[in-house]
């Protein structure tokens, strides 16, 4: 499994109108923390930083995953950027958890291409957004028709943990759930 995040950049986030930014960022942070907690490779890609001086990937996400590979692109479709595809393929994993802004453009294009290239693609729908609800829904429909599987971020964490008896990861998993799914102070637990 590889986590692939595309275009979580301040100026692109500003165009997201179908979901509250606070919820989207909270869920995406939970997803990144889940990947880091379980040692899942992470590929992040932003667009136009070197070419046009666009704002880079959101620092709050980059800071959570210091070993993530970050690819700057010029192509709208990340799958048309050789360096991006090479970074994904270099993980040696065939299951991709893909998130991106905007659903119908910067995420749909590469998710569909990855699925066609033989990857098993999952999209945590609560970590993505688009300009309008219609744009988001159309992007989801296109991806689903191409074989992409919709999920939510917490499903990724639950699948990685799988068994509460796995004591080496259970405390960290519970902490992520408390903080980002239940939006509780993880130091107070269920009290």
Active-site positions?
106
Q: Are 96 and 51 in contact (CB under 8 A)?
A: no
Q: How far is CA 45 from CA 16, 17, 82, 101, 180, in A?
A: 18, 21, 12, 11, 23
Helices 21-37, 153-161: axis angle to 10 degrees equals 20
Say how many residues make up the chain: 191
Pairwise CA distance, residues 170 & 187, whole Å:
15
3-state secondary structure 77-125: CHHHCHHHHHHHHHCCCCEEEEEEECHHHHHHHHHHHHHHCCCEEEEEH
């Amino acid at each position: 499994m590889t986590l692939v995040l595309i275009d979580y950049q301040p100026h692109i986030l500003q165009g997201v109108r179908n979901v509250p930014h606070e919820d989207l960022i909270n869920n995406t942070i939970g997803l990144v923390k889940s990947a880091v907690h379980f040692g899942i490779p992470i590929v992040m890609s932003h667009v136009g930083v070197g070419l046009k001086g666009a704002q880079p990937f959101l620092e709050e996400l980059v800071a959570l995953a210091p070993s993530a590979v970050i690819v700057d692109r010029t192509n709208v479709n990340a799958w048309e950027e050789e360096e991006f595809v090479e970074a994904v393929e270099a993980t040696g994993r065939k299951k991709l958890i893909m998130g991106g802004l905007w659903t119908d453009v910067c995420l749909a294009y590469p998710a569909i291409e990855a699925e066609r290239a033989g990857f098993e693609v999952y999209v945590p729908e609560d970590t993505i957004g688009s300009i309008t609800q219609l744009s988001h829904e159309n992007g989801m429909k296109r991806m689903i028709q191409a074989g992409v599987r919709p999920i939510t971020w917490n499903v990724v964490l639950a699948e990685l943990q799988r068994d509460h008896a796995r004591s080496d990861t259970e405390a960290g998993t519970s902490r992520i759930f408390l903080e980002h799914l239940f939006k509780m102070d993880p130091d107070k637990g269920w009290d």
